[in-house]
């Protein structure tokens, strides 16, 4: 349901699961993702804040935390039109590509975000303490290891890093 954009239905289903098993980190993570997609990030944050330290360490919950951090960061980088203009004006600037990637992620253009993070890495992989590579790794965690975009981007990242 999440993958198909049925966030209201997914939220209801995850809530039902949690009524039967309040400790299910998969259901908590799913509910948080649905809430974030519905624009209810504060509810998701409250849910995450109430988790035990062990629950917070699970990969499902870590992916949601990364998603929330990236959503916050993407809302702070600026206007998409202005960021595209910055990249066109100075295409060799890794920061321009990084900022555009964050804005694209915030507008649900995951592929565009990945492409610009990879371009930032290609231009200067060490820029800002490898910020682009670190954000890309966070995206991999959010998308999941079996997502086709993750698989393709990992191959492209390896090609950049080892060429």
The predicted structure's pLDDT at residue 106: 86
The length of the chain is: 163
The predicted structure's pLDDT at residue 115: 98
Domain coverage including residue 115? 77-161
The predicted structure's pLDDT at residue 16: 97
The predicted structure's pLDDT at residue 150: 97
CB atoms under 10 Å from CB of 158, counted, come to 10
Residues 90 and 46 in one domain: no
Tell me the CA distances in angstroms from 135 to 38, 67, 69, 152, one per residue in order.
23, 10, 10, 16
The predicted structure's pLDDT at residue 70: 85
Residues 90 and 151 in one domain: yes
pLDDT digit string (tens) for the chain, length 163 residues: 888 889 999 999 999 999 999 999 999 999 999 998 888 989 999 999 999 999 999 999 999 998 888 888 888 888 999 999 999 999 999 999 999 999 999 888 999 999 999 999 999 999 999 999 999 999 998 888 999 999 999 999 999 999 8
CB 75 within 8 A of CB 106: yes
The predicted structure's pLDDT at residue 163: 84
Among 162, 66, 77, CA closest to 122: 162
CB 87 within 8 A of CB 162: no
Looking up residue 93, the CATH number of its domain turns out to be 1.25.40.10
**Residue 161 corresponds to which tokens in the numbers above?**
């890093």
Residues 52 and 101 in one domain: no
CB 120 within 8 A of CB 93: no
Q: Is residue 46 part of a domain?
A: yes
């Amino acid at each position: 349901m999440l993958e198909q954009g049925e966030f209201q239905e997914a939220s209801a289903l995850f809530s039902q699961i949690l009524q039967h098993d309040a400790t299910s980190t998969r259901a908590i993570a799913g509910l948080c993702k649905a809430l974030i997609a519905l624009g209810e990030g504060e509810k998701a944050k409250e849910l995450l804040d109430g988790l035990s330290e062990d629950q917070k360490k699970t990969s499902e919950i870590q992916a949601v935390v990364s998603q929330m951090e990236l959503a916050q960061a993407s809302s702070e980088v600026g206007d998409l039109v202005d960021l595209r203009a910055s990249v066109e004006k100075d295409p060799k600037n890794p920061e321009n590509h990084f900022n555009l990637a964050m804005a694209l992620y915030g507008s649900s253009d995951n592929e565009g975000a990945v492409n610009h993070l990879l371009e930032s890495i290609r231009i200067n992989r060490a820029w800002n303490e490898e910020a682009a590579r670190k954000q890309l790794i966070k995206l991999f965690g959010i998308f999941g290891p079996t997502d086709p975009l993750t698989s393709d981007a990992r191959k492209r990242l390896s090609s950049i890093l080892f060429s």
